Structure 1
């Protein structure tokens, strides 16, 4: 799976939240100052060429929707981060983020309880 630029990720986040939309609805979702319609349209076409987005015709326009699920992309991005910066060690990555974000033992225990719930 290809990596996305920041601008491409921003648009994918919007499409994941919306489920689907035309370029105008994507532009409308951005905070001020909103990007130009043509800029968003170009990025959506790039996402289409990278096979992250597909569309269906509706009237004279297109309705775009994600082909790649957010969880799938997140998992791939996290794996790439872990492999690239932490030599594939989940333990090293978690330790780094705990130290960097000053996570307390209580917060870590709460995270572990949450993870254990999801395993069941």
Structure 2
């Protein structure tokens, strides 16, 4: 299951904060801040999708992510490779390196990452 753009924005806040009360979440948004009811609706939908949960403290809820950021994006990158690049990581890498205007320094860093991965295989 995936998140809408609004839910993903909220997850980014929760991943960064790790745990947050409603006031902390709203405070993390840029102006204009969303309404409390909007955030409450998003949190409920995300809870139904098993992305977040909360601990109740009196009348306040402290929300926290149930899905790690790395796991979420790993699933999406793999889906992207499968759906848009014929399940070819090579096609994806070619597109990524050509279309993102990477500097020579960034390409060298990628090359090092790839070479390090080759050594561990």
> Is the TM-score greater than 0.5?
yes
Report how far residue 6 of structure 1 moved: 0.3
Question: What residue number does 2:98 align with?
Answer: 99
What residue in structure 2 maps to residue 77 of structure 1? 76
Q: TM-score normalized by structure 2?
A: 0.89
Distance 1:57 1:106 in 2: 48
- Flag as ranges the 4+ runs of structure 1 deviating above 6 A: none
Superposition RMSD in Å: 1.7
SS of aligned partner of 2:83:
helix
Match of 1:29 in 2: 28
Count how many residue pairs are aligned between Structure 1 and Structure 2.
119
Distance in 2 between residues matched to 1:59 and 1:114, nearest whole Å = 48
Does residue 5 of structure 1 match 2:4?
A: yes
User: What do residues 78-99 of structure 1 show as CA deviations (whole Å, max 9, x unaligned)?
Assistant: 0111111001111111111111
Give me the whole-angstrom Cα distance separating, in 1, the residues matched to 2:82 and 2:98: 19
Deviation at residue 112 of structure 1 after TM alignment: 2.0
Q: Which runs of 5+ in 1 are unaligned?
A: none
Taking the aligned partners of 2:61 and 2:112, their CA distance within structure 1 comes to: 44
> How far apart are residue 117 of structure 1 and its match?
4.8
**1:63 corresponds to:** 62
What is the TM-score with the length of structure 1 in the denominator?
A: 0.90
Structure 2 unaligned blocks of 5 or more? none
**SS class of match (1:110):** helix
2: CA distance, partners of 1:94 / 1:69: 24
